[in-house]
A and B are shown apart, each in its own frame.
Chain A
């Protein structure tokens, strides 16, 4: 299997036969896009749930305040 590797050394691999810039910039772009595209929705989901929870807690608190009669400020 390893005799099929097209590059004889690691520096050869990075040089890409003189096309290092073209090849590596495309792959780098892909990796960045890939990572952002998966990370952003995951972060966004946490954010949505956090806000959701805060909203529910606030609603709960105001309900409790109203029932105990501490709403004189309102």
Chain B
């Protein structure tokens, strides 16, 4: 078990293994995406209230749901960095932060475009929107801290601490903003996820799209982490061999 763990932490091992997995992951991702997008655009019946804007949901909801995973992911990676000094965990944390900012931004923008029709305005201080925006700010904070600290070792540990603090904070923010919002806006405001039971022809393609975007997230993270490995391990023999044979 321990041997396996330390092996997993070795960048070289990860690089080789992820190289083997990537084609399969990309294939699964493409398949799911094609099925999901064609289904969402052509076959999903228009919503009785929202009409064809319901098709935005198939982009917005997967992005919003995966955006919530970034801080827990970075906090776990940060804990591993601090406790076991695993280099790989820090590389994942480093690439996850900008990726998370992009995913969060896309969730916000797509939500705003969707909301511009169903709410009649591009922005409202809804609980979900506000906490998502604050999460975006916190991610920018992690990224700017990483770029401000020059020493890689110190930057990785400092960002690990900030990610753990930020993860706790994201939960507190989420609860407090929901509480703030329910007191500000009495019942009757439109919420994004309708609680009405949705028929399968609406939620099955949504599940397909969520899985597709999860694969997309995994592929993006792995690609960026592999580059990070190449940069940081540039003095290692195996990277030099790789460069010579390229």
Contacts and interface: CB of A to CB of B under 8 A. Distances in A.
Interface in B170-229: 216, 219-220, 223-224, 226-227
A52 to B, nearest CB: 4
A56 B46 CA distance: 59
B110 to A, nearest CB: 5
Contacts of A38: 219-220, 223
Contact of B55 (A4, A16, A33, A53): A16
A56 B244 contact: yes
Given A22-B116, A48-B230, A5 B106 contact: no
Interface secondary structure of B, over-half rule: helix
Interface string A14-50: 0011110011011101100110011001101110111
Contacts of A30: 59, 106, 110
A72 interface: no
Interface residues of B, number: 39
A44 B227 contact: yes
B43 interface: yes
Contact of A56 (B60, B109, B243): B243
Interface residues of A, number: 32
A52 B240 contact: yes
A26 B216 contact: no
Contacts of A55: 234
A41 B52 contact: no
Contacts of A45: 223, 226-227, 230
A19 B117 contact: yes
Given A33-B102, A42-B223, A45-B226, A6 B42 contact: yes
B44 interface: yes
Contacts of A29: 59, 106, 109-110
B56 A22 contact: yes
Interface in B95-135: 99, 102, 106, 109-110, 113-114, 116-117
Contacts of A52: 230, 234, 239-240, 242-243
Contacts of B110: 26, 29-30
A46 B56 CA distance: 35
A6 B226 contact: no
B65 interface: no
B243 A53 contact: yes
A19 B51 contact: yes
A5 B42 contact: yes
Interface core residue of B52, B230, B234 (most chain A CB under 10 Å): B52
Interface of A: 4-7, 13, 16-19, 22-23, 25-27, 29-30, 33-34, 37-38, 41-42, 44-46, 48-50, 52-53, 55-56
26 contacts: A5-B42, A5-B43, A13-B41, A16-B52, A16-B55, A23-B53, A26-B56, A26-B59, A26-B114, A29-B106, A30-B59, A33-B102, A33-B106, A37-B220, A38-B223, A42-B223, A45-B223, A45-B227, A46-B246, A48-B227, A49-B246, A50-B246, A52-B239, A52-B243, A53-B246, A55-B234
